[in-house]
Structure 1
Amino acid sequence: MRKKINLSWYAALAVIAKLLLITNILSAQTIIESVIAGDFADPSIIRANNQYYAVGTSSEWAPHFPIYSSKDLLNWKQTGYVFAKAPAWTSGSFWAPEFDYHDKTYFIYYTARRKKDNVSCIGVATSKYPDRGFVDQGIIIDYGKEAIDAFVYLEGNTRYITFKAYGLDKRPIEILAYKLARNGLTIKGKPFPLLKDNQKIGLEGQSILKKDGYYYLFYSAGNCCGTQCDYNVRVARSKSFAGPYELYAANPLLMENEYWKCSGHGTFVKATDGKDYYLYHAYNKKTNVFSGRQGMLAQLSWPAKGGWPVLKEQSGPTLNRDLKLNFTRPEINKRWQWDFRNSTPKILQQNGQLHLSGRINKDNLSGIALTLRPVSGIFEATTAVTNTNNALKGLVYYGDAGSAIGIGISGNEIEFWKVENKARTVLSKLQVSTKVPVELKMKTAEDLSLMVFFKQGNQEWKNMPAKEKITVNFLPQWDRCPRIGLHFNGSVNQYADFSSFGLKY
């Protein structure tokens, strides 16, 4: 006799399965991906020739101010940099570039420290193109101990340049504005205040839009950088560009969510669909300072006429961000950067090899690091070293000249090394044959531990042991994440040869 099937039980299972499927779909839809992965802070965006261009902070890395392009705001490709070399007046801290365009000229207003006194000033560069050919025109704003975060606003036929002032003075931070000369290269008259930080919560990264008779001043508040950051995006409005501005009672507009934290410092662009989008930065909560402040996108909407705006995070596409480089072409990959304050690398690609050498500053214990911006702090990097000399050649995970760790070969010895607190330590050494090229690997884990490996020929990977567990929590710098790449430490007449570089996340 057949057993009677309990249809209500199967119906219940079907309902449960359907609910689980819906839950999984919704969960997948709520994941927010960056649109420009890796450290790309303080972005500015412009639309030109049916394309979008974005430029971001480079801090102490050269070349300076990376530029990306996109046709849809979601898929971006790096096209170049603003400066191949630092302008003569600058010493570092290349922050917060701002796009503008008029009179068939592209302008980038940028922050950098002045060489003679280390004061942050705002400079300007110009080009006939949005992604190349920029020529520095020098300082445009020198104001007190700090002038940073330029933003240009067009009102009728008059351009205003706004900026953050007093961050290093014993006065409340203010957003100030000057009139710009017609040529965009000089300021006119005296500055006037737009918004003052009376609440002492921080005030910077401003961007201004006009809607229904109101000027809306979007700004960032809180601590921008590092593990203790609490950055967020807020808004104030006024019937007059010069203020006074009323703070939105329901601030902030963008803040921490399930996946991202410390959202801030962005600018708007009107897309080809007529909608306004906000390109800004945020830290991924999982890898945080080890992947830096990444490029994010939000859509701007106005629920009611005369009402306050809403910013809704948009997700970028889920991409395979693994990288495999060979050096068969003479063109150097645009993504490579280095610490320009502590070394001057020479890079040449020919015959399937990347040749790395250059000048290393006397007090630089870490050597030359030719690096890429990582998209995660959990990775596996590999390379193959093909030449033999007494210079150290290999892989590096680099914070700055005083904070780095790596594995390399010098002569016939594999060396696992670390520079921390400006002191260099050899963690382990092992002799190998010099007749066969050596392959090297560096691998990190979620607990911030790091292991290094080597092999030759058809060998299996061999671990380079250390006396204790090695972690990389000492690498991140306040305003930038550590970077992964190729390493050289030797004299100017020596060099390193690499036949490949790989990066898996």
Structure 2
Amino acid sequence: MKPFRNICILVSIFITLSSCIVSMQALATVPDDPRARNPILPGFYPDPSVVRVGEDFYLVNSSFEWFPSIPIFTSRDLINWKQIGHAVSNPDYFAALNKVDTSRGVYAPTIHYHNGLFYIVSTCVQCGQNFYVTSTDPDGPWSKPIWIEGDRGIDPSFFWDKNGKSYYLGTGILNRQEVTWPNPNGIWIQEIDLVEGTLLGDKTQLTYGHASNARWTEGPHLYLKDGYYYLMVAEGGTSEDHAVTIFRSENILGPYIPNHKNPVLTHRNLGEDVHIHSTGHADMIQTQNGDWYAVMLAKRRFDDLTPLARETFLAQIKWEDGWPVFNPGKARLELDILIPDLPWTPIESTPIRDNFSTQKLSLDYVTLRAQTREWLTIGDKGLMLTPKFASLDEEHQQPSMVVRRIQHPRYSASTRVDVENFEKQDEAGLVIYRNYRNHYKFFRKGNSLQVVHNHKGQSVVIAQTFIEDDPIILAIEDNGPMLSFIYRSDAGASKVLVSNVDASSTSDEVAGGFNGPMIGMYANTSLFDKSKIAQFSWFEYKGTGVH
């Protein structure tokens, strides 16, 4: 019996040590600092909506004219988010997106989960209006869009009542005689058949907003808690006057009584110099532990500019006297936030350099409008673009351009570019792009290397130099309000072509609109020939300051 007893003791010790090691590993993953950094999704990620399924959270954002449409993220701790796909990635589904104006396209999606099925409902302005897609798996594939008959508003959302009925919330005013002030809007509700996408019965107006002259009431979300239906909306427009207001009713069709402490979140009373501004368009979520949080959009100001457009932030919610309080004791968004009481689940960082080693582009990259991608291939030489006759300086174009979101107020980006069968009028290089009227191009054209600045529609060559035909490495550094454009050969030393270039053209203050700044690679020609190839061996993006 003694050998057997010794074996048991050894096994017991081994199990105990293993448990300790596992416990130590688990503790090692918990951050020492209980605080995290807002925004949770930096860069052009506006109009967030969130849903929880079990221990997993899923979040979506607007994408406007960029494609694939509606990025989808997942997280287990509400801090670390990983992109897992897009709601619409088949360009055949969104052919009309190719004709939309700048800052039109896909607005304000909301994500839902009901009876084993995920729903994402959104608006495609100038390209079919309101639609939804479904999937049993948030990773996809997602269904073909189902277009909703009977609504031409924006910012739709769904709600399933306790009696099993499905409801659709839309924006608009049912009786114009009831509103007389400038820029009004309202929220209404109607039953919907989610098999056919057909609205049923009559519309019921729920609110025009909290104030007697509320402007641009939109972004409705409906929640059922403790016997009340809570209607949360955005008001004031998605800029400095943005705000979140909330109403409640014991009946889903109303009447909805406003919270006397509205707006429950806004920064419009903090002055024009506040760092975080334009807060609004919130969506609340309850964790599996019973805690409440909200995601919302806001902007950040750097050097008197808003360079990154609308971003996704997180706030804690505490319920008091039957109403939600955002960031109790502070009532405003902050850069530092306490980490939620959830399993800390960090994700693998995106590599600084993309060597294009797989056959598919990273989910970070998008193209302008819903193009088919026969002009884009990935092979041994990296990313290869066939230049199209599609100017970056004109609206409604579908250029050979692959870009990602700029996520830092200070950053650097670079690439190695070579060309095949290019003629002297053909271009290939880097681009910082906000819209067709506001962007920067750094490119080779024949034996010339040029920097072109397009500011409010005025395009100017601000620097150029002679180069050889060899591959060349191009780099752009954003040091705050100024840009530097740098180049070198494979073996040569870096040279600054031009520096101290005003970086404001892609900011909200200059460019305006609902979209955000992008950076990446492009190729262009005035004479199409499919044998022409721009080869980008790699692409690097690195934030050099706070995110």
What TM-score, normalized to structure 1?
0.83
User: What is the rounded CA distance, in whole Å, between the counterparts of 2:338 and 2:308 in structure 1?
Assistant: 17
| Aligned position for 1:4 | none
SS in 2 for 1:148: coil
SS in 1 for 2:469: coil
C-alpha displacement at 1:322, in angstroms? 7.5
| Aligned position for 2:53 | 48
| Aligned position for 2:505 | 474
User: What is the rounded CA distance, in whole Å, between the counterparts of 2:529 and 2:123 in structure 1?
Assistant: 32
| Aligned position for 2:156 | 150
User: What is the rounded CA distance, in whole Å, between the counterparts of 2:414 and 2:56 in structure 1?
Assistant: 35
Q: Report Cα offsets for 1:53-90 as digits up to 9, x if no partner.
A: 11110011111111111122111111111112252455
Matches within 5 A, 1:63-462: 63-84=68-89, 85=91, 86-88=93-95, 91=100, 92-115=104-127, 121-143=129-151, 146-156=152-162, 157-166=164-173, 172-181=184-193, 183=195, 185-197=197-209, 198-225=212-239, 229-256=240-267, 259-286=275-302, 289-304=306-321, 307-312=322-327, 314=337, 323-340=352-369, 346-361=375-390, 364=393, 367-388=399-420, 389-390=422-423, 391-435=426-470, 437-446=471-480, 448-462=481-495
432 and 57 in structure 1: CA distance in 2 versus 1, 3 angstrom threshold = same
User: What is the rounded CA distance, in whole Å, between the counterparts of 2:490 and 2:227 in structure 1?
Assistant: 71
User: What is the rounded CA distance, in whole Å, between the counterparts of 1:289 and 1:373 in structure 2?
Assistant: 15
Are 2:65 and 1:60 aligned?
yes
One-letter amino acid of the structure 2 residue matched with residue 311 of structure 1: F
Task: Decide whether the 8 Å contact of 2:215 with 2:235 is kept in 1.
Answer: yes
Q: Report Cα offsets for 1:395-427 as digits up to 9, x if no partner.
A: 100012332212111222111112344443322
Q: Which runs of 5+ in 1 are unaligned?
A: 1-27
Task: Decide whether the 8 Å contact of 2:385 with 2:533 is kept in 1.
Answer: yes
354 and 343 in structure 1: CA distance in 2 versus 1, 3 angstrom threshold = same
One-letter amino acid of the structure 2 residue matched with residue 158 of structure 1: K
C-alpha displacement at 1:356, in angstroms? 1.6
User: What is the rounded CA distance, in whole Å, between the counterparts of 1:51 and 1:370 in structure 2?
Assistant: 31
Q: Which runs of 5+ in 2 are unaligned?
A: 1-32, 328-332
Q: Report Cα offsets for 1:114-161 as digits up to 9, x if no partner.
A: 44xxxx731122222223212234321443xx4011121221111211
112 and 31 in structure 1: CA distance in 2 versus 1, 3 angstrom threshold = same
Comparing both chains, which one has the higher relative contact order based on Cα–Cα distances under 8 Å and sequence gaps of 6 or more? 2
Task: Decide whether the 8 Å contact of 1:141 with 1:147 is kept in 2.
Answer: no
C-alpha displacement at 1:344, in angstroms? 6.2
Task: Decide whether the 8 Å contact of 1:195 with 1:243 is kept in 2.
Answer: no
Task: Decide whether the 8 Å contact of 2:54 with 2:288 is kept in 1.
Answer: no
323 and 291 in structure 1: CA distance in 2 versus 1, 3 angstrom threshold = farther
210 and 101 in structure 1: CA distance in 2 versus 1, 3 angstrom threshold = closer
112 and 147 in structure 1: CA distance in 2 versus 1, 3 angstrom threshold = same
C-alpha displacement at 1:284, in angstroms? 2.1
User: What is the rounded CA distance, in whole Å, between the counterparts of 2:247 and 2:54 in structure 1?
Assistant: 32
Query: Higher strand proportion, which one?
Result: 1
SS in 2 for 1:87: helix
503 and 93 in structure 1: CA distance in 2 versus 1, 3 angstrom threshold = same
User: What is the rounded CA distance, in whole Å, between the counterparts of 2:452 and 2:372 in structure 1?
Assistant: 19
Task: Decide whether the 8 Å contact of 2:157 with 2:169 is kept in 1.
Answer: yes
One-letter amino acid of the structure 2 residue matched with residue 441 of structure 1: A
Q: Report Cα offsets for 1:330-372 as digits up to 9, x if no partner.
A: 2211110121179967322211511122544368559533111
User: What is the rounded CA distance, in whole Å, between the counterparts of 1:191 and 1:234 in structure 2?
Assistant: 22
Task: Decide whether the 8 Å contact of 1:87 with 1:136 is kept in 2.
Answer: no
User: What is the rounded CA distance, in whole Å, between the counterparts of 1:49 and 1:230 in structure 2?
Assistant: 36
What TM-score, normalized to structure 2?
0.77
C-alpha displacement at 1:496, in angstroms? 1.0
323 and 142 in structure 1: CA distance in 2 versus 1, 3 angstrom threshold = farther
Task: Decide whether the 8 Å contact of 1:355 with 1:495 is kept in 2.
Answer: yes
Q: Report Cα offsets for 1:449-503 as digits up to 9, x if no partner.
A: 222111113332211138xx63232333410112111121123522211111111
User: What is the rounded CA distance, in whole Å, between the counterparts of 1:159 and 1:245 in structure 2?
Assistant: 19
One-letter amino acid of the structure 2 residue matched with residue 415 of structure 1: Q
RMSD: 2.9
456 and 182 in structure 1: CA distance in 2 versus 1, 3 angstrom threshold = closer
182 and 121 in structure 1: CA distance in 2 versus 1, 3 angstrom threshold = closer
User: What is the rounded CA distance, in whole Å, between the counterparts of 1:345 and 1:503 in structure 2?
Assistant: 25
Task: Decide whether the 8 Å contact of 2:356 with 2:378 is kept in 1.
Answer: yes
